[in-house]
């Protein structure tokens, strides 16, 4: 596990974008695993800026997003598909048929999850997986539990996650209760895992996940076992890490 300290959110975003950009330069047909949420917005903005300057070419890149709300079709304003279009895909030269997000419009859980695992296999797995972390230690929507769930699966979101995601919806009732998420296996099999985290509110979960025991009760803790795991945090988020 490599821990990189960033001065602030902007610095964290630039450092993360640098690593992603290096990956794409080294392997123009790289498979990038991507995340939504507030944390990666600055990273995407930085990548877009460099793309517009002519420094990064995404024409050969494939992206596999971590998760999607079950029941939200692509066109829905709160879908993760839409989020990715607005913050990233619309502004770069990625091919539409190289973009993968779990199919939230498919209500058949088994089929939707199997299909996503087949896609991950077909593209040959993930070269670099970008992650945020939830307040309860979730990665993707792998919520705390008794076991690590390996494949893509449907989850019922925890109260804490619904609470955290409320900010993107008009009210609590509008937050979907279920989501499809990539499982722990595809994340752990990624060539490189890059987690970004900022803010004092994440300091405690960062300490529990990366300075404590590996347990499915804190899903992110498994990343301690990944051979190429990089954590980039701002001062506040890393304030409880003793280093």
Positions that interact with ligand F6R (CB under 6 A):
35-39, 66-67, 132-134, 138-140
Cα(first)–Cα(last) distance of the chain, in Å?
A: 13
Nearer to ligand F6R, 56 or 157 (CB): 157
What gap in Å lies between CA 173 and CA 179, rounded to an integer?
15
- Measured from each CB, the residue nearest to ligand F6R is 132
Q: Which residues pair with 187 in a beta bridge?
A: none
State the catalytic residue, choosing from 68, 103, 127, 143. 143
Shortest Cβ 81–ligand F6R spacing (Å): 11
Shortest Cβ 18–ligand F6R spacing (Å): 19
Tell me, yes or no, if 138 is annotated catalytic: yes
Nearer to ligand F6R, 60 or 216 (CB): 216
What gap in Å lies between CA 105 and CA 83, rounded to an integer?
16
State the catalytic residue, choosing from 51, 87, 98, 138. 138
What gap in Å lies between CA 150 and CA 122, rounded to an integer?
17
Nearer to ligand F6R, 60 or 168 (CB): 168
Shortest Cβ 146–ligand F6R spacing (Å): 19
Strand blocks (E) in the chain: 2-6, 31-34, 62-65, 67-69, 99-100, 128-131, 153-156, 178-181, 192-197, 229-234
Tell me, yes or no, if 67 is annotated catalytic: yes
Catalytic site residues?
A: 67, 136, 138, 143
């Amino acid at each position: 596990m490599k821990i990189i300290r960033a001065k602030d959110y902007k610095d964290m975003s630039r450092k993360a974008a640098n690593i992603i950009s290096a990956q794409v330069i080294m392997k123009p047909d790289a498979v990038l695993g991507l995340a939504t949420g507030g944390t990666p917005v600055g990273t995407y903005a930085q990548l877009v800026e460099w793309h517009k300057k002519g420094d990064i070419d995404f024409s050969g890149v494939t992206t596999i997003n971590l998760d999607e709300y079950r029941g939200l079709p692509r066109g829905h304003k709160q879908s993760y598909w839409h989020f990715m279009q607005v913050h990233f895909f619309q502004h770069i030269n990625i091919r539409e048929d190289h973009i993968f997000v779990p199919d939230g419009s498919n209500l058949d859980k088994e089929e939707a999850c199997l299909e996503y695992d087949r896609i991950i296999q077909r593209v040959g797995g993930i070269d670099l997986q970008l992650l945020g972390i939830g307040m309860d230690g979730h990665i993707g929507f792998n919520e705390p539990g008794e076991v690590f769930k390996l494949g893509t699966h449907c989850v019922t979101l925890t109260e804490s996650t619904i609470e955290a995601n409320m900010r993107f919806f008009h009210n609590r009732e509008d937050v979907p209760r279920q989501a499809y998420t990539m499982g722990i296996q595809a994340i752990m099999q990624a060539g490189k895992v890059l987690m970004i985290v900022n803010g004092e509110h994440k300091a405690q979960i960062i300490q529990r996940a990366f300075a404590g025991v590996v347990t499915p009760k804190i899903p992110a803790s498994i990343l301690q076992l990944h051979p190429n795991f990089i954590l980039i945090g701002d001062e506040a988020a890393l304030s409880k890490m003793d280093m």
